[in-house]
Amino acid sequence: MTDFRIEKGADGVAIITWDTVGKSMNVMNAQGFLDLEALIDDALADAAVKGVIITSGKPGSFAGGMDLNVIAKMRDDAGDNPARGLFDGVMGMHAILRKIERAGMDPKTNKGGKPIAAALPGTALGIGLEIPLACHRIFAADNPSAKIGLPEIMVGIFPGAGGTTRLVRKLGAMAASPLLLEGKLNDPKKAKAAGVVDEVVPAYELIEKARAWVLSNPEIVKPWDDKGYKMPGGAPYHPAGFMTFVGASAMVNGKTQGAFPAARALLSAVYEGALVPFDTALRIEARWFVNVLLNPSSSAMIRSLFINKEALEKGANRPDLPDQRVKKVGVMGAGMMGAGIALVSAMAGIQVVLIDQKQEAADKGKAYTADFMDQGIKRGKATAEKKAATLDLITATTDYAALKGCDLIIEAVFEDPKVKAEVTREVLKVVDKDCIFATNTSTLPITELAKTSDTPENFIGIHFFSPVEKMMLVEIIKGQKTGPRAVAKALDYVRQIRKTPIVVNDARFFYCNRCIIPYINEGLRMVAEGVAPALIDNAARQLGFPVGPLQLVDETSIDLGAKIARATRAAMGEAYPDAAVDDVIFWMEGEGRLGRKSNAGFYDYDEKGKRQGYWPGLAAKYPRAAKQPDLYEVQHRLMFAQVLEAVRALEEGVLEDIREGDVGAILAWGFAPWSGGPFAWLDIIGTPYAAERCDQLAEKFGARFSTPKLLREMAAKGQSFYGRFGQKAVAA
């Protein structure tokens, strides 16, 4: 069985249907390309065939993209000369797509080709759009849930099967840039408005419309194969094009801070490709694509953001138990987190009971969903019916009796052990014995909170990040007595609400906050040392972090930082290591500079809350040191502060799987995505160098940078994290 088949009609139209065996959506693999080529050759050679339609055998979708495992394998199989192997492989893909595009035309006169249409029943991503772009006309079914686009940049590569070169030539660099640089996806109507697809037609007419076009003896020479082709918006030396390219370069570097190799390579491929004829542009695109594939960043990103993320979402670490999907969830506390949890649960079709102390508070929590749906309606992403159906699922009340029949409770009341214990006790009186009870605490140990319950095996942490509806990660925390069914339940719930889970063991601040806090603290220490605040935040942004540590603490609020510092100090006593940090944070708190929420923090804000420059009062209290540190030293301090915490979490068994450490870091706090996560970063720089650098930092800045035993041992043996701990990942 192959993934492509051909049917030749009596009217002379050959329909090539893509239907990947054993998958619900088409994905391209190495054999698939060869099969497609063979069928195209057949159709072009057959005198009875007048034209071709390429479509999909999967209802509602054309293709989800290339199987990225194939790219990883292509590089690994390329042996001693991976660059040459990859380049030849990519040029092979170009040759097949170019064959479709030229369709048997005479190379000189452009005469004699056969029209080839793409008929997309729905979603068409990556190679699933690059193939249509090589066809002569793209028909898309009017399917509003379909997504059409080139999302490669999101996993650290760029469209390398001609998509970059063709889209820029079809739309111009300006119009193509959000699609290529941001991986923006559109529904069919928007894709038509953007000029990506040519026609949107009712689904039931898709093939007939394409057939009629094929039989209409249409013009099929692509503009760029015609004499006198001019790039829309102008090529780089055209006055308008010049502005576009200069602007794009500045914009990309501003946004990425130069930290993402794929964005830079993409821009180079576009710019250089725009200066030369089409076939040369394809070679240039292939060179830059190979350049990106050979950068360790791209394999690390593909591994974390595609392969491992998907494995975790599919339950790589789920105990082997029957389906535990949630039918009715009780959410305790309708504040910021509870309201968001109710929203995402109801959106997933789960019945929700949302409880607060007063009816007004519960109603306010439910209104959050109504507001969210209203915004969706305004943007054309939701309907009034969907809003009504979602709201119908939420019961906002103060009455615990409504919790009867819940199979999962998520508690999100105040961060106070006494309040939490009281709520837990009251809930457990109402629900069945086998109901799983989860807490959304961010700082309190799960094992302690579980003591309120006489079924601690059913007690677990489900830690959301704020804002719940935006943040993709959910951290699941096992207390000492948490049983496998509670873990399976939490994982099945996270899958229902379409987020990515990691499962960790109980320890102070679990995994994510444990790593984020030292990042913020290292920034605050530098303030106390007189390092320029702009150097601190920009060093982080140039590493690819979405916000620097000072901006981050302004966003999360300085009094929250002070509260955590007080609680940690009380719990740790003499061993507390962060007194230098507290000086800064308590002083800021005392000055009433609580961050964005008080319109005053490390930054000044205008009356609309827009960030201005750094607050001058900071420099008055902590004068700038005459000699500022080197950028790399600042970056290494910020990086190692987090990464060493991740290594310690692994060493102590808080983390059981490095994939969770890497995926969690990127999704929870935007850890330099280009690196693939903390462990992937250590593998990129190499454990021997990492250990050496830690020794230097420890000598200069203190014991918090001491090389953990595990890292020291791995450095001595020359081991990598994925080499040593990746087996689990490979086996999954």
Would strands 611-614 and 603-605 be described as parallel, antiparallel, or unpaired? antiparallel
State which residue, 220 or 449, has the beta carbon closest to ligand NAD.
449
- Name which of residues 652 to 691 contact ligand NAD (CB under 6 A): none
Cβ atoms of 580 and 619 within 8 Å: the answer is no
**Residue 554 in the binding site for ligand NAD (CB under 6 A):** no
Residue (of 549, 529, 530) closest to 539 by Cα position? 549
The window from 57-65, 224-232, 287-295, 356-364 that contacts ligand NAD (CB under 6 A) reads 356-364
Q: Does 504 bind ligand NAD (CB under 6 A)?
A: no
The CB-of-547 to ligand NAD minimum distance in angstroms stands at 15
Closest approach, Cβ 358 to ligand NAD, in A, equals 7
Q: Is 415 in the site for ligand NAD (CB under 6 A)?
A: yes
CB of 436 to ligand NAD, least distance (A): 17
- Using CB under 6 A as the binding rule, whether residue 372 contacts ligand NAD is answered as no
CB proximity list for 410: less than 8 A, separation 6 or greater: 329, 330, 331, 332, 338, 341, 438, 439, 440, 462
Residue 678 exposed, middle or buried by CB count within 10 Å (0-12, 13-18, 19+) = buried
Q: Which residues contact 51 (CB under 8 A, 6 or more apart)?
A: 12, 13, 14, 114, 115, 116, 117, 214, 215
Q: With binding defined as CB under 6 A, does residue 356 bind ligand NAD?
A: yes
Residue count, binding to ligand NAD (CB under 6 A): 23
Q: Which is nearer to ligand NAD, 212 or 567 (CB)?
A: 567
Q: Which of 94, 136, 238, 463 is catalytic?
A: 463
Q: Residue 333 interacts with ligand NAD (CB under 6 A)?
A: yes
Q: Identify which of residues 423 and 644 has a Cβ nearer to ligand NAD in the complex.
A: 423
Alpha carbons within 13 angstroms on the beta-carbon side of residue 20 total 20
Smallest distance from ligand NAD to CB 364, Å = 8
On whether the CB atoms of residues 464 and 337 are closer than 8 A, the answer is: yes
136 has catalytic annotation = no
Q: Quickly tell me which residue has 């309907």 as its tokens.
A: 383
Which range of residues in 147-155, 182-190, 290-298, 410-418 is near ligand NAD by CB under 6 A? Answer: 410-418
The amino acid at residue 428 is L
Check residue 645 for interaction with ligand NAD (CB under 6 A): no
Q: Is 337 in the site for ligand NAD (CB under 6 A)?
A: yes
Using the minimum distance from each CB to ligand NAD, give the nearer residue, 163 or 333: 333
Hunting for tokens 């071709």 — which residue is that? 52
Residue 419 sits in the site that holds ligand NAD (CB under 6 A)? yes
String marking each residue 440-479 x if it binds ligand NAD according to CB under 6 A: xxx--------------------xx-x-------------
- Secondary structure (H, E, C), 579-631: HHHHHHHHHHHHCCCCEHHHCECCEEECCCCCEEEECHHHHHHCCCCCCCCCH
| Whole-number Å distance between alpha carbons of 674 and 666 | 9
Choices 354-362, 402-410, 635-643, 692-700 (CB under 6 A): range interacting with ligand NAD: 354-362
Query: What is the sign, positive or negative, of the torsion defined by CA atoms of 49, 50, 52, 53?
Result: negative
Closer residue to ligand NAD, CB minimum distance, 307 or 331: 331
Q: Which residue is nearest to ligand NAD (CB)?
A: 335
Give the nearest distance from C-beta 442 to ligand NAD in angstroms.
4
- Asked whether position 565 contacts ligand NAD by CB under 6 A, the answer is no
193-to-175, 234, 271, 469, 715 alpha-carbon distances in Å: 11, 20, 24, 29, 54
**CA-to-CA separations, 465 to 318, 346, 634, 669, in angstroms, rounded:** 21, 18, 27, 9
From the number of C-beta atoms within 10 Å of its C-beta (0-12, 13-18, 19+), residue 444 rates as middle
Burial of 438 (0-12, 13-18, 19+ CB in 10 A): buried
Using rule CB under 6 A, residue 413 touches ligand NAD: yes
- Residue 298: CB minimum distance to ligand NAD, A: 32
Q: Is residue 412 within the footprint of ligand NAD (CB under 6 A)?
A: yes
Residue 564 binds ligand NAD, judged by CB under 6 A: no
Helix (H) or strand (E) holding 264: helix 261-274
Q: How far is the CB of 602 from ligand NAD (least distance, A)?
A: 19
Segment interacting with ligand NAD (CB under 6 A) among 439-447, 539-547, 562-570, 684-692? 439-447
Instruction: Quote the tokens at residue 67.
Output: 């199987």
Cβ 373 to ligand NAD, closest distance in Å? 20
Does residue 375 come out as left (phi exceeding 0), alpha (psi in the -120 to 50 range) or beta?
A: alpha
Instruction: Calculate the CA 556 to chain-centre distance.
Output: 21
Angle (deg, nearest 10), helices 658-669 and 512-529: 60
Smallest gap from residue 420 Cβ to ligand NAD (A): 7
594 binds ligand NAD (CB under 6 A): no
- Choice from 423, 476, 516, 638 touching ligand NAD (CB under 6 A): 423
CA distances from 44 to 48, 110, 128, 505, 661 (A): 9, 15, 22, 60, 51
Site string for ligand NAD, 252-291 (x = CB under 6 A): ----------------------------------------
Encoding tokens for residue 595? 């961050």
Q: Is position 338 an interface residue for ligand NAD (rule: CB under 6 A)?
A: yes
Nearest to ligand NAD of 96, 438 (CB atom)? 438
CB of 356 to ligand NAD, least distance (A): 4
Residue number, 175 or 419, with CB nearest to ligand NAD = 419
Beta strands at 116-120 and 123-125: parallel, antiparallel or unpaired: unpaired
Q: Find the binder of ligand NAD among 361, 449, 488, 647 (CB under 6 A).
A: 361
Radius of gyration from C-alpha coordinates of the chain: 28
- β-partners of residue 396 are 354
Per DSSP, what are the bridge partners of residue 411?
332, 439
Does position 345 bind ligand NAD by CB under 6 A? no
Our measurement of the distance from residue 22's CA atom to the centroid of its chain's CA atoms, rounded to an integer in Å, reads 26
* 90-149 positions binding ligand NAD, by CB under 6 A: none
Stretches 70-78, 205-213, 225-233, 330-338: which one binds ligand NAD (CB under 6 A)?
Answer: 330-338
Nearer to ligand NAD, 563 or 693 (CB): 563
Give the SS3 label for residue 6.
strand
- The answer to whether residue 513 forms part of the interface with ligand NAD (CB under 6 A) is no
Q: Can you give the binding site for ligand NAD, defined by CB under 6 A? A: 332-338, 355-357, 361, 412-415, 419, 423, 440-442, 463-464, 466
Residues with catalytic function? 463
